[in-house]
Structures are given as C-alpha cells and as structure tokens.
C-alpha cells in the first residue's frame, strides 16, 4: 500500500513494450516532476507505444494534470502513442473537470499492454524496471 502523502512511478520495458505504473497522489510539484522524468525516460526508449497503468493512482492535482499533458505532448513530438489505462472514477472526474480527458488516450485497465511486471502489487527491482519516488 502506498502511504497517503507519497507518489511512486515504476518505469519499465520488456521486449517491445514500455510502460509506467503510477501509485499514490500526484498533486505536488515533486510528484509531477517525477512523473515527467519517468515519462521522458520511457518515451526516450523509442518504442511506438507507452502504456501507463493508473489503477493505483489515487488523485491527480493540477500539477499532476500538467505532467499528464506534458507527457502527452512529449510523446506526440516523439511519434509515440501514450495510453493511460485503468483510471479510477475519481481521477477520471478530475480530468473531466479540466477537459483533459478529451485529449488523452484513455483505456480501461484491461487495455494495458505494457510490461506485466509493472502491474504487480510490489514491483520487483529487476533489470528492466526503475523506481521514481516523490
């Protein structure tokens, strides 16, 4: 379980799949910076798609939404598709309030096609994963 005041991003790749797993509250400047840093890293892998597991993302403040938007823009510039999967109803509502949900590629959790290791309750520190914490 993620402590209430923390935010974790696990980044990883396996074969031709790159992904992120977002956990906790992305509502501080530090959390938003970690998200942008992790997104930049996986987009930099040069793969056609990045899959973002959001099932454990508890909240998304304005700074976190800015990080989502910046990741979307960076992916477009790199000719990479970024898919945000498994958003909770609360986070979907937060995106709807600003209209950002209309811009992003949102999928249900079942749409996730990224590295399976990122979906585990505890992501192991293996060769193809990296942790970004705020």
State which of 2-6, 77-81, 127-131 shows the largest mean pLDDT. Answer: 77-81
Copy the structure tokens of residue 54. 């959001």
Beta strands per DSSP E along the chain:
7-14, 17-26, 49-60, 81-85, 105-107, 129-133
8-133: CATH class? alpha beta
9-65 pLDDT per residue, tens:
999 998 888 999 999 999 999 999 999 999 999 999 999 999 999 999 999 999 999
Q: What is the DSSP letter of 61?
A: -
pTM of the model: 0.90
| The pair of three-digit structure tokens given for residue 101, joined into one six-digit string | 């949900």
């Amino acid at each position: 379980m993620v402590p209430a005041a923390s935010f974790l991003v696990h980044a990883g790749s396996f074969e031709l799949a790159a992904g992120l797993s977002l956990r906790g509250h992305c509502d501080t400047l530090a959390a938003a910076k970690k998200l942008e840093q992790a997104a930049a890293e996986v987009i930099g892998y040069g793969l056609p798609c990045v899959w973002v597991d959001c099932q454990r993302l508890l909240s998304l403040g304005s700074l976190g939404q800015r990080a989502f938007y910046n990741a979307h823009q960076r992916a477009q510039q790199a000719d990479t598709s970024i898919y945000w999967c498994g958003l909770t109803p609360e986070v979907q509502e937060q995106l709807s309030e600003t209209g950002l949900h209309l811009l992003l590629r949102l999928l249900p959790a079942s749409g996730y096609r990224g590295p399976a290791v990122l979906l585990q309750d505890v992501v192991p520190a293996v060769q193809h994963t990296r942790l970004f914490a705020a």
